């Protein structure tokens, strides 16, 4: 009994301390802007400081899993929003988020300077911040060694030349049900072959021994032959910027990237990431300034080396290393975002039935 | 109990309520295949774990051999590894370019790697055994070493064969701990998530994986809700079955001095058994860890010569680089801070769950009637979907008094929810098997109740308390699914730091992830060692 009392006392002490810290936090005068985002988000200390000093505010970033998990968190907590700004929603989830009405409208003035391709489907609610292309990456040395030409189209990938040996095809892809690059690549095939033909295309890829894994980490680090995991597949669905990361984060300084991306027409999917102000924010004014800030060169120029994505603002200058090794597609596959949100479940389910029976 | 209500039932009810209120299609038939596979793989994994774990528990309980303490500690380490690291460890050992395949290709001159391990059903089973064998070794082994060896010896003197002595004397006494440990292993396998996703690959889906996909990728919450309900219902059935099969009273047994029942292996058969067990455990538990550590120290690039003057060889670069914030990111975590955060979460979890678990154990022993309903209730969080529970915690606490500022406390509290059953499972059997006469004699000899409790009961409980505490500690360090939803970025832990490195391409990132994982392993090894010697100090001698 005595012990039980002691534990009760301990527990209430815990709760009290928790309550006190909260009280102390609200007393301070500095306004806090909370930004909910996905786990891959990163930003320089100096950039954060620039914003904080200019507006006399404090920035808090709330990382909430991958894009789907973070969006889910925002939707589920919308009656008591945990954050003021949501950053990192991409064009495959955009229409779902708009449909859930979690944002309040805001259109920054700088939006006018952006290229037209980033401005469709915003509904006045979200602002595009960055983009990156999901493309096939390949192991340069492997292709030189074998004297094999690179595939230039999706159709090439289904040809016998890229069949590989005994159950080990040359390409590893991620499962679209559990991975966002996986979903992006599925969308590329749907854009190319249409809703009627894409399953047949995947059947032919299966014949060619395509390897399916669940997540990007496994695909890249376990299966891809040019990564440190040194797997068996010389081609992987990754980002067009991955070769730049291979150089910048090499174990030893490299003059040349060990990998490169295939960026030919209609083989890549362009992921655009947006930011929006969450409904119920108590910092509307500050949130609007932060969205403006995210489009400014200071933030935009920081993006490439932090997250290996391209800034949407054409006025931002890119770092040399990035410019040299990172790529983007001239003609990414095009597919209507509304169609994506309407059919993604159906497409993924159909795909699963064919590829993972 | 309040803890359980606040951190389990309220969130679960809240999330299930919200889930079914959302829009989405429910396709009932889509839940049958994952259900079947979940049960099948969990049964098979549990059987395999028992098959290897019981002989190992026997060897640890009955024999002394060189390196016993070290090996026992090493078998505990897989428990702390986040699945993504385990996947990398198995890749480093058995992957297409893992040490084993590299060696075999060199020996046989084969072009293709001979072993295809990753993304197979075998990989799932092996990983489950890798993770959970420690439960059998600790829970059963601990009970076994408390058994009076004279019981077994008398049976042998009376002419029973070793097998018959085991079946008729040892097994009935060990049935409770075995069932108890098997239940924990089964529930772990049943709710397995990371192992299936990352080692089993895309072809396999358990209920938990299906819940994750439906809830977090398709945003189909009603379907996720249905799957969670099915999973919860299965857990209830399993717990009821367990309650029914483990009925019966514990036989009070005089506790043995620790170390009394152990001896050096004598006959050739005994020596062989011990050696075989050591080799098996070493291969299964230690080699993957070793492969992981080696990859944090060895650079493999440049093998093909096309990449300039880069040579493969030993390097400390990955460790050095951990202390450099190259891109000046605000999310950079100095290793020391990640370690301190992980350790304090784990420490709090350990204290909380040992405290609460012991109280529950006392309640169950003093009032046996409570056990029938209390035990399954405490076990429930174990079999619930951690994705659903995580989302539930999120809804239940967002906007409430407990939110934001108290978030650092939510993490160890959520960890304790999973750790308490472990403490209960190790402490309660020891407590109920404790003969009442011991405390009574102490009282007769003039000890105050407090002194009798401290000097008699606590001493006898120190070993089971240690085992429970160790599990709580390691569960917290390895982090379980639900916390990823409630964790705040202010206190990044070691697993969070590892994920950060693995999320971007580049040899340096890979090496740093391995280095960070190695640090995690070393720190856990040291902590486990310290806790073990602490318990020895309290308990007297080994």
Using one digit for the tens of pLDDT, what is the confidence trace for B189-229? 998 888 888 788 777 888 888 888 888 887 888 888 888 88
In this predicted structure, the answer to whether residue A18 has a pLDDT above a threshold of 50 is no
**Do B287 and B345 sit in the same domain of this protein?**
no
Q: Among candidates B228, B119, B35, which has minimal Cα distance to A210?
A: B119
Lowest mean pLDDT: which of B82-96, B375-389, B526-540? B526-540
Q: Which of B265, B299, B333 is the last residue of a domain?
A: B299
Query: Does residue A17 lie in a domain region?
Result: no
- Using the Cβ of B312 and the Cβ atoms of chain A, whether some distance falls under 8 Å is answered with no
**Do A315 and A335 sit in the same domain of this protein?**
no
Residue A267 CA to residue A156 CA, distance in Å, equals: 11
B64 dihedral zone (left: phi>0; alpha: psi -120 to 50; beta)? beta
Query: Does residue A102 lie in a domain region?
Result: yes
Using an 8 Å Cβ cutoff, are B427 and B465 in contact?
yes
**pLDDT band at residue B487 under the 50/70/90 scheme:** low
Query: Does residue B20 lie in a domain region?
Result: no
Query: Does residue B119 lie in a domain region?
Result: yes
Residue B45 CA to residue B50 CA, distance in Å, equals: 9
Best residue in B92, B197, B202, B321 to probe A by mutation, most A CBs within 10 Å?
A: B202
Query: Does residue A15 lie in a domain region?
Result: no
Using an 8 Å Cβ cutoff, are A321 and A248 in contact?
yes
Tally of domains within chain B: 2
Bigger pLDDT: A309 or B259?
A309
**Do A113 and A150 sit in the same domain of this protein?**
no
Label the pairing between strands A58-63 and A235-239: unpaired
Query: Does residue A6 lie in a domain region?
Result: no
- Domain with A237 in it: 133-269+330-355
**Do B93 and B151 sit in the same domain of this protein?**
yes
**Do A250 and A279 sit in the same domain of this protein?**
no
H or E element, residue A63: strand A58-63
* pLDDT the model gives residue A115: 93
Query: Does residue B304 lie in a domain region?
Result: no
**Do B434 and B294 sit in the same domain of this protein?**
no
Q: Which of B264, B299, B334 is the last residue of a domain?
A: B299
Residue B133 tokens, joined: 């064998």
Nearest CA in chain A to B496: A39
**Do A342 and A208 sit in the same domain of this protein?**
yes
- Using the Cβ of A204 and the Cβ atoms of chain B, whether some distance falls under 8 Å is answered with no
Nearest CA in chain A to B196: A214
**Do A119 and A224 sit in the same domain of this protein?**
no
Query: Does residue A61 lie in a domain region?
Result: yes
* pLDDT the model gives residue A289: 96
* pLDDT the model gives residue B256: 59
**Do B224 and B326 sit in the same domain of this protein?**
no
B396-446 pLDDT, tens digit per residue, is 776 554 455 456 677 788 788 888 888 887 888 777 777 777 777 777 887
Average pLDDT, chain B: 79
Q: Among candidates B490, B218, B130, which has minimal Cα distance to A351?
A: B218
In this predicted structure, the answer to whether residue B42 has a pLDDT above a threshold of 50 is yes
Residue A49 tokens, joined: 């400081």
**Do B154 and B273 sit in the same domain of this protein?**
yes
* pLDDT the model gives residue B488: 61
CB contact under 8 A, B511 and A42: no
Instruction: Output Rg (C-alpha) for chain B, integer angstroms.
Output: 24
**Do B187 and B229 sit in the same domain of this protein?**
yes
**Do A340 and A264 sit in the same domain of this protein?**
yes
Task: Work out the minimum CA distance from A283 to partner chain B, whole angstroms.
Answer: 16
**Do B209 and B111 sit in the same domain of this protein?**
yes
Query: Does residue B447 lie in a domain region?
Result: yes
* pLDDT the model gives residue B489: 59
With a pLDDT cut of 90, the percent of chain A lying above it is: 54
**pLDDT band at residue B480 under the 50/70/90 scheme:** low
User: pTM here?
Assistant: 0.81
CB contact under 8 A, B504 and A7: no
Integer CA distances (angstroms), A113 to A77, A109, A217, A289, A335, in order: 34, 8, 36, 17, 24
* pLDDT the model gives residue B216: 80
In this predicted structure, the answer to whether residue A63 has a pLDDT above a threshold of 60 is yes
Query: Does residue A24 lie in a domain region?
Result: no
Lowest mean pLDDT: which of A43-52, A110-119, A225-234, B299-308? B299-308
CATH classification at residue B138: 1.10.3720.10
**Do B40 and B102 sit in the same domain of this protein?**
yes
Q: Encode B100-138 in three state secondary structure.
A: HHHHHHHHHCCCCCCCCCCCCHHHHHHHHHHHHHHHHHH
Query: Does residue B88 lie in a domain region?
Result: yes
**Do B270 and B353 sit in the same domain of this protein?**
no
**Do B418 and B339 sit in the same domain of this protein?**
yes
With a pLDDT cut of 70, the percent of chain A lying above it is: 91
Q: Which of B240, B264, B299 is the last residue of a domain?
A: B299
Query: Does residue A9 lie in a domain region?
Result: no
Nearest CA in chain B to A41: B331
Query: Does residue B314 lie in a domain region?
Result: no
Query: Where do we find the tokens 């994920």?
Result: B499
* pLDDT the model gives residue B303: 40
Positive/negative CA dihedral, A173, A177, A181, A185:
positive
- Using the Cβ of B436 and the Cβ atoms of chain A, whether some distance falls under 8 Å is answered with no
Question: From the list A238, A252, A306, which residue is nearest B329 (CB)?
Answer: A306
**Do B367 and B456 sit in the same domain of this protein?**
yes
**Do A214 and A181 sit in the same domain of this protein?**
yes
* pLDDT the model gives residue B306: 38
Lowest mean pLDDT: which of A219-228, A297-306, B29-38, B475-484? B475-484
Query: Does residue B19 lie in a domain region?
Result: no
Residue B81 tokens, joined: 């590894």
**Do B281 and B334 sit in the same domain of this protein?**
no
- Using the Cβ of A251 and the Cβ atoms of chain B, whether some distance falls under 8 Å is answered with yes
Bigger pLDDT: A26 or B421?
B421
**Do A98 and A163 sit in the same domain of this protein?**
no
B102 CB neighbour count, 10 Å cutoff: 16
Tally of domains within chain A: 2
**Do A64 and A169 sit in the same domain of this protein?**
no
CATH classification at residue A288: 3.40.190.10
Query: Does residue A165 lie in a domain region?
Result: yes
CB contact under 8 A, A45 and B330: yes
Label the pairing between strands A126-139 and A235-239: antiparallel
B232-258 pLDDT, tens digit per residue, is 899 888 888 887 776 665 555 665 555
Query: Does residue B26 lie in a domain region?
Result: no
**pLDDT band at residue B312 under the 50/70/90 scheme:** low
**Do A284 and A243 sit in the same domain of this protein?**
no
**Do A77 and A197 sit in the same domain of this protein?**
no
ipTM associated with this complex:
0.75
Residue B412 CA to residue B4 CA, distance in Å, equals: 13
* pLDDT the model gives residue A1: 36
- Domain with B50 in it: 31-299
Backbone angles phi, psi at A179, to 5 degrees: -145, 135
């Amino acid at each position: 009994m005595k012990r039980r009392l002691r534990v009760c006392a301990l527990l209430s002490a815990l709760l009290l301390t928790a309550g006190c810290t909260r009280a102390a936090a609200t007393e301070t005068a500095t306004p806090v802007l909370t930004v909910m985002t996905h786990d891959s988000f990163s930003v320089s200390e100096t950039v954060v400081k620039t914003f904080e000093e200019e507006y006399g505010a404090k920035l808090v970033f709330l990382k909430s899993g991958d894009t789907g998990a973070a969006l889910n968190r925002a939707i589920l907590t919308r009656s008591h929003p945990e954050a003021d700004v949501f950053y990192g929603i991409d064009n495959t989830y955009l229409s779902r988020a708009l449909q859930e009405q979690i944002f309040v409208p805001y259109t920054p003035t700088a939006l006018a300077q952006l290229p037209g391709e980033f401005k469709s489907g915003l509904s006045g609610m979200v602002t595009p911040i960055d983009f990156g292309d999901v493309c096939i990456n390949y192991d340069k040395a492997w292709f030189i060694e074998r004297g094999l030409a690179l595939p230039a189209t999706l159709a090439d990938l289904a040809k016998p030349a890229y069949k590989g040996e005994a159950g080990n095809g040359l390409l590893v892809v991620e499962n679209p049900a559990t991975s966002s690059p996986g979903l992006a690549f599925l969308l590329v095939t749907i854009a190319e072959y249409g809703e009627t033909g894409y399953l047949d295309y995947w059947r032919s890829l299966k014949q060619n021994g395509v390897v399916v894994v669940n997540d990007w980490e496994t695909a890249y680090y376990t299966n891809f032959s040019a990564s440190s995991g040194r797997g068996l597949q010389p081609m992987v669905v990754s980002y067009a910027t991955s070769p730049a990361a291979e150089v910048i984060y090499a174990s030893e300084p490299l003059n040349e990237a060990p990998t490169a991306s295939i960026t030919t027409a209609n083989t890549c999917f362009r992921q655009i990431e947006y930011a929006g102000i969450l409904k119920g924010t108590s910092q509307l004014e500050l949130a609007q300034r932060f969205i403006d800030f995210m489009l400014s060169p200071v933030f935009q120029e920081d993006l490439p080396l932090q997250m290996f994505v391209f800034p949407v603002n054409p006025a931002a200058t890119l770092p040399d290393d990035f410019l040299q090794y990172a790529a983007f597609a001239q003609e990414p596959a095009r597919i209507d975002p509304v169609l994506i949100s309407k059919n993604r479940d159906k497409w993924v389910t159909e795909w699963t039935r064919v590829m993972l029976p | 109990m309040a803890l359980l209500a606040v951190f389990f039932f309220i969130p679960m009810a809240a999330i299930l309520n919200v889930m079914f209120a959302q829009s989405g299609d429910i396709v009932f038939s889509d839940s049958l295949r994952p259900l079947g596979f979940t049960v099948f793989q969990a049964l098979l994994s549990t059987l395999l774990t028992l098959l290897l774990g019981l002989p190992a528990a026997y060897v640890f309980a009955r024999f002394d051999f060189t390196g016993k303490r070290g090996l026992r500690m090493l078998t505990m380490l897989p428990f702390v590894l986040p699945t993504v690291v385990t996947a990398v460890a198995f890749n480093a050992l058995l992957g297409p370019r893992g040490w084993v395949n590299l060696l075999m290709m060199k020996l046989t001159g084969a072009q293709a790697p001979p072993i295809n391990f990753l993304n197979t059903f075998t990989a799932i089973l092996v990983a489950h055994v890798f993770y959970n064998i420690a439960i059998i070794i600790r829970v059963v082994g601990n009970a076994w070493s408390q058994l009076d060896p004279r019981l077994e010896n008398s049976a042998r003197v009376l002419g029973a064969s070793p097998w018959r002595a085991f079946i008729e004397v040892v097994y009935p006494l060990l049935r409770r701990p075995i069932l108890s440990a098997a239940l924990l292993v089964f529930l772990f396998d049943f709710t397995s998530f990371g192992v299936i996703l990352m080692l089993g690959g895309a072809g396999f889906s358990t209920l938990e994986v299906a819940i994750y996909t439906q809830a977090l990728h398709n945003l189909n919450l009603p379907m996720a809700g249905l799957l969670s309900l099915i999973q919860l219902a299965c857990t209830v059935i399993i717990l009821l079955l367990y309650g029914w099969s483990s009925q019966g009273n514990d036989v009070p047994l005089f506790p043995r001095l620790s170390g009394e029942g152990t001896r050096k292996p004598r006959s050739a058969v005994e020596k062989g058994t011990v050696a075989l067990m050591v080799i098996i455990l070493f291969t299964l538990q230690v080699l993957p860890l070793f492969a992981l550590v080696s990859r944090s120290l060895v650079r493999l690039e440049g093998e093909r010569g096309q990449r300039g003057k880069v040579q493969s060889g030993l390097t400390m670069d990955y460790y050095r680089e951990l202390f450099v914030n190259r891109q000046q990111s605000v999310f950079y975590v100095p290793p020391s801070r990640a370690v301190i955060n992980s350790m304090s979460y784990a420490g709090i979890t350990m204290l909380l769950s040992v405290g609460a678990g012991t109280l529950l154990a006392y309640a169950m022993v003093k009032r046996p009637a409570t056990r029938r309903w209390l035990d399954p209730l405490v076990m429930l969080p174990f079999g619930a979907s951690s994705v659903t529970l995580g989302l539930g915690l999120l809804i239940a606490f967002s906007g409430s008094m407990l939110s934001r500022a108290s978030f650092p406390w939510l993490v160890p509290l959520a960890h304790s929810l999973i750790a308490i059953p472990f403490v209960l499972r190790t402490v309660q059997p020891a407590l109920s098997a404790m003969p009442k006469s011991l405390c009574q004699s102490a009282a007769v000899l003039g000890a105050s109740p407090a002194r009798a409790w401290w000097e008699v009961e606590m001493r006898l409980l120190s070993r089971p308390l240690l085992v429970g505490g160790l599990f709580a500690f390691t569960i917290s360090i390895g982090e379980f699914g639900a916390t990823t939803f409630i964790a705040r970025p202010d206190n990044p832990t070691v697993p969070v730091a590892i994920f950060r490195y693995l999320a971007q391409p580049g040899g340096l990132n890979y090496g740093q992830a391995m280095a960070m994982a190695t640090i995690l392993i070393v720190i856990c090894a040291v902590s486990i060692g310290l806790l073990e010697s602490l318990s020895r100090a309290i308990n007297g001698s080994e």
